[in-house]
Amino acid sequence: MSQEDRVSDTPDGRINDWLKGWDQGHWDFTYTEPGQNLEKYFEKVTDGRKGLKILLPLCATTYDLIWFCEQGHTVVGADLAESAAQRIFKQYKQKPIIEEVPSINGKLYKNETGTFKFYVGNFLLFNEDLEGKFDFIWDSKAMCAVDPRDRPTYLKVIRSVMGPKCIIMLEFPKKIFPGAPYCFSEEQLKEFYGDICDLEYQDQYDFNICKAYHGDVDDDGQPLKQEEGKDESKEEEEDKVICLQSYCLRKRE
């Protein structure tokens, strides 16, 4: 999973690296269920509140976008690849309204009611002027995908759109890789957010990439291709299991 050999020395170059990864199918997955720890802890950390405004940065094609909408929340996703927005709207069986968004060098996909939005473009240019503040941020394998040289900008964006009493659930690998995805210690998380948030460790679990489907969906929103790694040996499958740990960060009043 390491992108070490392909990482550019410039921010624009790193954006091109990730877009190239999309074109080559490295991140091209379709999911059919929400994240394990999201489903386990979300209602508890939010006290079961409905109508929350939720941000999913660098979300790719995660089913969590659809799951949040089905729970009655307003959802905003963001990623570099337009194919991710097209895929998730197709899977959710929603017809998108598409608008140009010059401030992020991209576009906005949204449904008719505005309760489901997906920004396509450079998330490091995302700002409060676009969507205001958020009640909840689901950072699922997002910050860990950001090159350390771009991390300060990423953190600045996230912190700028945190509303009063905002809650962040953060998920990232426990194992240290030579490149992306990157691991963080609890002390690092305190450095990133400790001045404005209380931090609590939640849980860890084994994430098996073989449970994701690779490729597009049909008109009914169902995956067209077989599960990733379905025909691989047990040893090859074990290589695609990553231990993910999650934390809850609560913004202080």
Per-residue pLDDT of the chain (253 residues; tens, 9 = 90+): 444 456 788 888 888 887 887 777 666 677 788 999 999 999 999 999 999 999 999 999 999 999 999 999 999 999 999 999 999 999 999 999 999 999 999 999 999 999 999 999 999 999 999 999 999 999 999 999 999 999 999 999 999 999 999 999 999 998 877 777 888 899 999 999 999 999 999 999 998 876 666 666 667 667 666 555 455 545 455 567 889 999 999 999 8
Distance of CA 132 to the CA centre of its chain: 19
Name the DSSP letter for residue 217: B
Give the pLDDT confidence score for residue 4 in this predicted structure.
Answer: 44
pTM: 0.89
Q: How many helices (H) and strands (E) does the chain have?
A: 8, 11
Give yes or no for a contact between 15 and 58, defined as CB atoms under 8 angstroms apart: no
Q: CA angle 246-119-200, nearest 5°?
A: 15
Enclosing H/E stretch for 117: strand 116-120
How buried is residue 253: exposed, middle or buried, by Cβ count under 10 Å (0-12/13-18/19+)?
A: exposed
Residues 6+ apart with CB under 8 A from 6: 17, 20, 21
What's the chain's length in residues? 253
The per-residue pLDDT for 85 is: 95
Burial of 178 (0-12, 13-18, 19+ CB in 10 A): exposed
The CA distance from 78 to 102, in Å, is 15
Q: Which of 210, 138, 140, 147 is nearest to 172 (CA)?
A: 140
**What are the start-end ranges of the H helices in 127-170?**
128-131, 151-160
Give the per-residue pLDDT at 29. Answer: 73
Tell me the C-alpha distance between 225 and 13, whole Å: 31
The owner of tokens 């929340």 is 73
